[in-house]
Each structure stands twice: as structure tokens, then as C-alpha cells.
Amino acid sequence: MELLQGPIRDYAWGSRTAIARLQGRPVPSEGPEAELWLGAHPGAPATVDRDGTPVSLTDLLVAEPDHWLGERLVGRFGVRLPFLLKVLAADAPLSLQAHPDAEQARAGHVADAERVNYVDPYHKPELLVALSEFDALCGFRDPVESAAAIAAFGVPALEPVVAALRTGPAGLREAVRLLLSWPPAERAGLVADVLAAEADGPDASLARGLAADYPADPGVLVALLLHHVQLAPGEAIWMPAGNLHAYLRGIGVEIMAASDNVLRGGLTPKRVDVDELLRVLRFEVLDEPVIAAVPVAPGVVTWPVPVEDFALHRVELTAGGPEARLALPGPRVVLCRAGRLVVDDGVGTVALGPGQAAVGTASGGPLVIGGEGEAYVATCGLR
């Protein structure tokens, strides 16, 4: 194992306290800190020290693929780390977005010569585990419930949207199309009408809260088509390809397939490609976006997901308790969330404090984690 230094992305929606506090730095930070990236994504690879010089993890993988990745992983994914581990800290809503499946990503990357929508040929399913109370929109809920929520505003212009939703899942595509294709000159007036309505309850509160940041964005209403989930620490949401979602506020550990393909649908000043989003979305009700942790050993849990790109485990150790031993396939990335931990893979030993991370190669043996605290361990999902 070796210490891994991850870059921090300064997106505008980020927190000025969460990641700095995790790493023991002064609070508030100079600017927003949205995501700590712990992986080899070419957009912001983490680094490993080599004789006082930080070396990109991406470069190390390319130089020694069999050592770092192993023959089996290279054969399945190529010379690349297939997962990206993040700490995500949102103080404001992220955009409504969805990600393509593997086939869509490959075809889109070939067709998208300007790399407007498809910057790489990979899918991007993702799992987020809450570290704090976490507010999110994820997956379509029962359209009849959404119809009632939008009808409650009493805005005549929205009647076609309500009518489409009342037909059930078959009307989801048309409802989304109508909202995202709303004439730009009329969007501010539509949102103003929603704000002026006397509707109350959770849906009305959600719309008003989003409208405060996006007063001319029909995504304020698209949000009402989705599950509004409020996670407690330790709870997780799984977002497979094609599911519309947005993280609104909170701190979480996120693991995903290493891709940057994002199709946005609102709550953003960035580009929205309505036609491509409609092509990628799965217009079906997501019955249960929250997934439960599954114990796999004393103090160790995981959140099973149906992909080979990644797996995530949480390790909780108490003072005087036994070490955790994890026979997980390499390479492995370990993030210390709290406490003081020692991580050994038979090749190297690293001591970690809060906010620090380590990386180990495929040539290492089982992970042995000792000490007192909490760690998140990211690996590929191959078995």
C-alpha cells in the first residue's frame, strides 16, 4: 500500500467546510470544494509519491499494467482503473442528469466527434453512501403521484403535462419532453406561476426551494417526477444507467464506473441536450432507489450492485477489537473517514488518518486493516 493524494474539484455547488474538516484543514476553505477524487480518471488523477515527486496514478498503470491492475482486470477493462472513488460534498443542488449504458456510451462516443455529450466510451453507474443526512432526487416515482403534485399548483399551462402523467408510466416520456421543451421565453413565467400558487406540502416546498436557485428552469417541475429521498448516514442509493437523478445537499462517499459521460436535464446553466437525454432515459418507475448494507464480516458491510466495474466496503474498527481481513481483488483504494488506521496488503503498510487514502496494486495480498476508526475500500467488482 502507498499513500494516495487526491485532487479536489472546485465546482460551484461544493461545500467550504466538509472536505476541509474531513482532512483537518482550516474551515472555511478559500473556495467551494465539491469532490475529492481518488482514482486514475484522466480528468483529475490522484498521485503517488516517487522520490519526492507526485506521479499520476494513470501514468503508473500504463507503465506497469500487470503489476497494478492484474492480467484479468486488463483483459476485461483494458489498461485503466475501472472505478473512481469520491467524497462528494454538496451545499447546493447538482444538475438533473442521467448517464448512458455501456452500449449507448460506445456508440455515442464514436458518433460524437466533437465530444459534446460522450467524452469517453464508458458507462457510469454509481453508488452513493451518505456520510451525513443526504438529500437527493433519484429515479422516476409513480407518475400518478407526480400528476397530483403538479396539478396542485393549479397552473393551466401545465394541464398537458398532468394529463400525460395520469396515463401512468407510458406518459413519462411525453411529460418530460413537454417540460424540457418549454419555450425559453415562457420559462420564467411558468416557474413564477408555480411559486405564486397556494399549494403546500413536501412537493410544493421542494419546487420552491429549487426555484430559488433556478427561477427560469423547467427542471424545477421535472424534479417532481422523481423520488425525493432523504438518506440517513450509512444509507445508500444506487443509480443505474438511464435513471434521472440529482444530488441536492449533503456529504457522501460515491463510487462509480470511471466515466465522465453526463446528459443534463435541468437545474443547471450548462448545456441541456433534450433529444439525447430522451433517448438515454429509462422511462420506468424505480421501485426502490435506496439499498441496504449487507454484513460480510464483523465490522464490514457492502452494498451489492450488479456491475463488475466496482464494489465498495465499509470497515468499522473499535479500540481493542480484531483487525479486518478483506480478500478483495486488486487494485484497492482505501479512504480513512475517521480514526487512525493501519492498512497492510503484504507488499506495503500505510498509516492513515481522517481524509487520507492509500492505494494498493493487484500484486498485493489480502488487505489487513487495524486500529480504530472507519474506512471505505473501493475495488473492482470482478469475482
Distance CA 167, CA 162 (A): 9
Show binding-site residues for Zn(2+). Answer: 97, 99, 126, 245
Which of the residues 264, 314, 332, 337 is marked catalytic? 264
Residue 61 has, within 13 A of its CA and on its CB side, a CA count of 27
CA 332 to chain centre: 19
Residue 295 has, within 13 A of its CA and on its CB side, a CA count of 4
Distance CA 72, CA 228 (A): 40
Distance CA 100, CA 277 (A): 9
Question: 264 an active-site residue?
Answer: yes
Show binding-site residues. Answer: 97, 99, 126, 245
Tell me the torsion sign for CA atoms 166, 171, 176, 177.
Answer: negative
Residues carrying an active site annotation? 264
